[in-house]
């Protein structure tokens, strides 16, 4: 290792610059601080997401418990002969100190009627409610998820989101690559002006043209239509810039050779430039997928009928509903973050290097 030849940097200097703080087996205080910070970071950055996922597997009863349990434990229920519905199980402490798991038939004030689930014929006994604690068992409430598919229009919202994300990303790649190619490989009057015209839109964030853009989209008859979300989004200054910079590095000889072979300009673009620009296209594709999947304010304005909602809008309206049950809301939140998490898990290196080099999000 090249590092071995250098003196080992230690202490504050070692911390502030790029160096290993200590030789094996001897940790300097800055190393302790580093790993303490990272550990805390892990809890703060990742803990909330983990908590969300764990909570989404809890039953309504378990969600209402305070203080909550860490893992999804739920109150256990048992089928008892002579009762139509399953009865909740409790651990009962008898007067003589023995404990027994019993099923509760009903609760009357501070007394509940309990029956032994193994021997229901023996009849019920009265137990003061402070003498019993819920009998819990480990239980993944998968029904939170299945409900979304059975009773709730989840697939509709999911499809709306997928449609907008995929179609907008494909068109973004095509349109931005075309513009980038024109700006990188052609010499025409006004090229610089057009380049500035496109890049200058970076300075005009969509939030300041909300009202007039709404007018344009509504005059085009695209309100409550996924295309009303797609069209305004498919030309991005970031994408044009990113692709143009990359295409500048493609040698002109390739294009000239293709022209010799009598290939049309479009064929050159499609068959030579696009494949060669694949790495940059991939970066833009990832950005575009993230942008479109997570977009909120613009769809909120354009899509007001619930059957056109994207997942983000459905989540928002679902959480604003007073009757909303957290168990379903949590499950839906998990399903919404799942696709992006999967993309990240597989393309992590790609995303982080892409963002670091392009400086955009």
Partner 1 sequence: MAVMSSPERPSPLRFLWKPLEALMQAVLNTVEIPMRWAQRMLGQQKIAWVFLLPNLLIFGLFTYLPIGVNFLYATTGGTNLWPGDRPFLGMDNFEVLLDCENYLDPATCRRDLFWVAVYNSAQFVVLQVGFMVTFALITALILNRKIIGRGFWRSVFFYPVLLSPVVVALIWKWILQREGVLNAALVGLGADPVNWLLSPDWAFFWVVFVNIWFQMGFYTLILLAGLQAIPPDVYEAAEMDGTKPVRVFTRITLPLLMPTMIVVLVLALIRAVQAFDEIFVLTGGGPGSATMFIVQYIYETGFASQIQQFGIAAAASLLLAVVLFILTMLQLRATRRQMNG
Residues 145-174 that bind partner 1 (CB under 8 A): 174
Does residue 356 bind partner 1 (CB under 8 A)?
A: yes
The C-alpha atoms of residue 113 and residue 127 are separated, in whole angstroms, by 6
Per CB under 8 A, contacts with partner 1 among 176-215 are 176, 178-179, 181-183, 186-188, 191, 194, 197-198, 201, 203-205, 207-215
Binding mask 247-276 for partner 1 (x = CB under 8 A): -------x---xx---xxxxx-xxxx-xxx
The C-alpha atoms of residue 331 and residue 167 are separated, in whole angstroms, by 26
Per CB under 8 A, contacts with partner 1 among 294-333 are 294, 296-297, 300-301, 312, 315-316, 319, 326, 329-330, 333
Binding mask 65-84 for partner 1 (x = CB under 8 A): -xxx----------------
Please work out the total of residues on this chain that contact partner 1, with binding judged by CB under 8 A.
119
For partner 1, the closer of residues 146 and 341 by Cβ is 341
Shortest Å distance, C-beta 195 to partner 1: 10
Which residue of 45, 110, 260, 323 would you call a contact of partner 1, by CB under 8 A? Answer: 45
Per CB under 8 A, contacts with partner 1 among 209-238 are 209-216, 218, 231-232, 234-235
Q: Give burial (CB, 10 Å; 0-12/13-18/19+) of 293.
A: buried
Does residue 361 bind partner 1 (CB under 8 A)?
A: yes
Q: Which phi and psi (to 5°) does residue 223 adopt?
A: -70, 145
Cβ proximity of 255 and 268 under 8 Å: yes
For partner 1, the closer of residues 98 and 188 by Cβ is 188
For partner 1, the closer of residues 129 and 222 by Cβ is 222
For partner 1, the closer of residues 135 and 270 by Cβ is 270
Does residue 23 bind partner 1 (CB under 8 A)?
A: no
Which residue of 29, 32, 46, 138 would you call a contact of partner 1, by CB under 8 A? Answer: 46
Shortest Å distance, C-beta 139 to partner 1: 19
Tell me the angle at which helices 191-199 and 154-185 cross, rounded to the nearest 10 degrees. 150
The C-alpha atoms of residue 357 and residue 282 are separated, in whole angstroms, by 14
The C-alpha atoms of residue 103 and residue 299 are separated, in whole angstroms, by 50
Cα dihedral: 89, 95, 97, 100 (round 10): -20
For partner 1, the closer of residues 120 and 134 by Cβ is 134
Cα 358 from chain centre: 22
Q: Give burial (CB, 10 Å; 0-12/13-18/19+) of 201.
A: middle
Stretch that binds partner 1, among 8-16, 84-92, 106-114, 128-136 (CB under 8 A): 8-16
Q: Coil, strand, or helix at residue 52?
A: helix
Cβ proximity of 222 and 231 under 8 Å: yes
Does residue 62 bind partner 1 (CB under 8 A)?
A: no
Cβ proximity of 148 and 335 under 8 Å: yes
The C-alpha atoms of residue 186 and residue 274 are separated, in whole angstroms, by 16
The C-alpha atoms of residue 271 and residue 282 are separated, in whole angstroms, by 17
Does residue 32 bind partner 1 (CB under 8 A)?
A: no
The 10 Å Cβ neighbour count of residue 9 is 16
For partner 1, the closer of residues 9 and 107 by Cβ is 9
């Amino acid at each position: 290792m090249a590092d071995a030849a250098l003196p080992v940097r230690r202490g504050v200097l070692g911390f502030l610059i790029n160096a290993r703080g200590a030789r094996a087996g001897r940790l300097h205080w800055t190393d302790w601080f580093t790993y303490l910070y990272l550990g805390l970071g892990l809890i703060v950055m990742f803990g909330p997401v983990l908590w969300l996922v764990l909570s989404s597997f809890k039953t309504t009863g378990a969600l209402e418990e305070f203080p909550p349990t860490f893992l999804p434990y739920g109150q256990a229920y048992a089928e008892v002969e002579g009762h139509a519905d399953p009865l909740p199980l409790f651990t009962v402490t008898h007067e003589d100190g023995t404990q027994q798991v019993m099923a509760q038939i009903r609760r009357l004030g501070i007394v509940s009627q309990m029956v032994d689930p193994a021997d229901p014929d023996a009849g019920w006994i009265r137990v003061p409610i402070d003498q019993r604690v819920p009998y819990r068992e480990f239980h993944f409430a998968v029904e939170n998820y299945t409900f979304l598919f059975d009773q709730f229009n989840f697939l509709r919202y999911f499809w709306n989101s997928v449609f907008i994300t995929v179609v907008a990303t494909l068109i973004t790649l095509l349109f931005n690559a075309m513009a980038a190619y024109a700006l990188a490989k052609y010499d025409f009057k006004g090229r610089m002006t057009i380049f500035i015209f496109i890049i200058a839109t970076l300075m005009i964030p969509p939030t300041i043209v909300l009202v007039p853009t709404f007018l344009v989209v509504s005059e085009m008859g695209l309100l409550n239509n996924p295309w009303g979300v797609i069209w305004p989004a498919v030309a991005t200054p970031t994408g044009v810039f990113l692709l143009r910079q990359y295409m500048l590095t493609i040698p002109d000889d390739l294009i000239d050779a293709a022209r010799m072979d009598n290939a049309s300009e479009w064929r050159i673009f499609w068959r030579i430039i696009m494949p060669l620009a694949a790495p940059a296209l991939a970066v833009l594709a990832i950005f575009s997928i993230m942008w479109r999947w997570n977009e909120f304010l613009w769809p909120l304005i354009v899509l007001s009928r619930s059957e056109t909602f994207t997942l983000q809008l459905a989540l928002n309206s679902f959480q604003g509903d007073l009757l909303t049950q957290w168990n379903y809301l949590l499950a839906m939140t998990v399903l919404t973050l799942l696709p992006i998490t999967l993309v990240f898990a597989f393309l992590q290196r790609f995303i982080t290097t892409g963002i670091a080099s392009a400086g955009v999000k």
